[in-house]
Amino acid sequence: MRSHVKLSAVVATGLVAALAGCGGTSGPATGSGGGTNTAASGDCSSAEVFCVGLVTDVGKVDDKGFNQAAWEGVEQVKGELGAQTKYVETTDPKDYAKNIKQFTDAKYDVIVTVGFLMADATRAAGKQYPNTKFIGFDQFQADPVVPNVTGLIFHEDQAGYAAGFLAGSMTKSNKIGVVLGQEIPPTQAYAAGYENGAKAANPAVSVSKVYHPAGNTAFNDPVWGAGEAKKMLAQGADFIFGAGGGTGNGALQETAKTSGAGDKVFCIGVDLDQWDTLPAAHPCLITSAEKHEKDGIGELLKQIKGNTVKPGNFFGTAGISPFHDFDSKVPADVKTKVADVVKKLEDGSLATGYKP
Amino acid sequence: MEWLKRNQITVGAGLVILVAAYVFYAVNSNVATSMFSGAWFFAVPLVLGALTGVVGERSGVVNIGIEGQMLVAAFAAFFSAAATGSLIVGVLVGMLAGIAMGAFLALTTVKGLMDQIIAGVVINIVATGLTSFFYRPGKVLSANMPQWEVPLLSKIPLIGDVFFQSGPIALFALVSVPVVHFALFRTRWGLRTRSIGEYPSAADTAGIDVIRMRLVNVTIGGIFAGAAGAYLSMEATGGFERGMTAGRGFLALAILIFGGWRPLRVFAAALFFGFTNALASQLQGVISIPQQFITLLPYLLTLIVLAVAAGRVRAPAAVGQPFVKGEGS
Q: What is the model's pLDDT at position A14? A: 45
Q: What is the model's pLDDT at position A18? A: 42
- A231 contacts on B by Cβ (under 8 Å): 34-35, 37-38, 278, 281-282
The pLDDT > 70 percentage for chain A reads: 88
Q: What is the model's pLDDT at position B9? A: 76
Does residue B306 fall inside a structural domain? no
- Nearest CA to B71 out of B238, B226, B224 is that of B226
Fold: same for A38-154+295-302+309-315 and A156-291+323-347: yes
Q: What is the model's pLDDT at position A1? A: 43
- Nearest CA to A347 out of A315, A312, A311 is that of A315
* Most B CBs within 10 Å, among A231, A233, A282, A284, to test the B interface: A231
- A222 contacts on B by Cβ (under 8 Å): 236-237, 239, 241, 244
DSSP A320: E
Characterize the bridge pairing of strands B148-149 and A83-88: unpaired
Distance separating the N- and C-terminal Cα atoms of chain A: 65
Does residue B215 fall inside a structural domain? yes
Instruction: Look at chain B and count its residues.
Output: 329
- B33 contacts on A by Cβ (under 8 Å): 234
- How many structural domains are present in chain B? 1
Option in A12, A214, A225 nearest B122 (CB):
A12
Does residue A56 or residue A11 have the better pLDDT? A56
Could you list the residue range(s) of the whole structural domain that residue B70 is in?
Answer: 42-259
Dist. CA A219–CA A243, nearest whole Å? 9
Does residue B301 or residue A352 have the better pLDDT? A352
Chain B residue with Cα closest to A274: B138
Packing angle between helix B248-258 and helix B210-230, nearest 10 degrees? 120
Across-strand partners of A153? A315
Flag the least confident range among A42-56, A172-186, A271-285, B299-313: B299-313
Order across the sheet with A149-154: list the strands: A26-28, A83-88, A50-55, A110-114, A133-137, A149-154, A312-316
Does residue A356 or residue A114 have the better pLDDT? A114
- Helix%, strand%, coil% for chain A, nearest 5: 45, 20, 35
- A228 contacts on B by Cβ (under 8 Å): 38, 281
Which residues fall within 8 angstroms of residue B243, CB to CB, at 6 or more apart?
A217, A220, B71, B128, B132
Q: What is the model's pLDDT at position A36? A: 32
Q: How confident is the model at residue A64 (pLDDT cuts 50, 70, 90)?
A: confident
CB-CB under 8 Å, B31 with A226? no
Option in B128, B129, B242 nearest A60 (CB):
B242
Backbone angles phi, psi at A135, to 5 degrees: -115, 120
Q: Cβ-count burial of B310 within 10 angstroms (0-12 exposed, 13-18 middle, 19+ buried)?
A: middle
> What is the least distance, in Å, from the CA of B37 to any CA of chain A?
8
Mean pLDDT over the full length of chain A:
85
Domain ranges of chain A: 38-154+295-302+309-315, 156-291+323-347
Q: What is the model's pLDDT at position A129? A: 93
CB-CB under 8 Å, A12 with B42? no
Where helices occur in B146-247 by DSSP H, the ranges are 159-163, 168-186, 188-198, 200-205, 210-230
Does residue B163 or residue A24 have the better pLDDT? B163
Dist. CA B294–CA B146, nearest whole Å? 34
Instruction: Please check whether residue A180 is in contact with residue A210, taking contact to mean a CB–CB distance below 8 angstroms.
Output: yes
What homologous superfamily is domain A156-291+323-347 in, according to CATH?
Response regulator (3.40.50.2300)
- B238 contacts on A by Cβ (under 8 Å): 253, 256-257, 280
Dist. CA B254–CA B270, nearest whole Å? 9
Characterize the bridge pairing of strands B148-149 and B165-166: antiparallel
C-alpha distances (whole Å) from B173 to each of B150, B178, B226 are 14, 9, 12
Could you tell me the mean pLDDT of each successive run of 10 residues in chain B, 329 residues long? Answer: 76 86 89 92 96 96 95 97 94 97 95 93 95 86 88 90 92 96 96 94 93 95 97 92 90 90 93 89 79 79 75 82 76
Does residue B77 fall inside a structural domain? yes
Across-strand partners of B124? none
CB-CB under 8 Å, B285 with A234? no
Bond before A144 cis per omega within 30 degrees: yes
Dist. CA A202–CA A164, nearest whole Å? 10
Q: How confident is the model at residue A26 (pLDDT cuts 50, 70, 90)?
A: very low
The structural architecture, per CATH, of the domain A38-154+295-302+309-315 is 3-Layer(aba) Sandwich (3.40)
- DSSP 3-state of A149: strand
Looking at this protein, which amino acid is placed at residue B49? G
Asked if ipTM goes beyond 0.85, one says yes
- A16 contacts on B by Cβ (under 8 Å): 122, 125-126
- Nearest CA to B259 out of B5, B40, B50 is that of B50
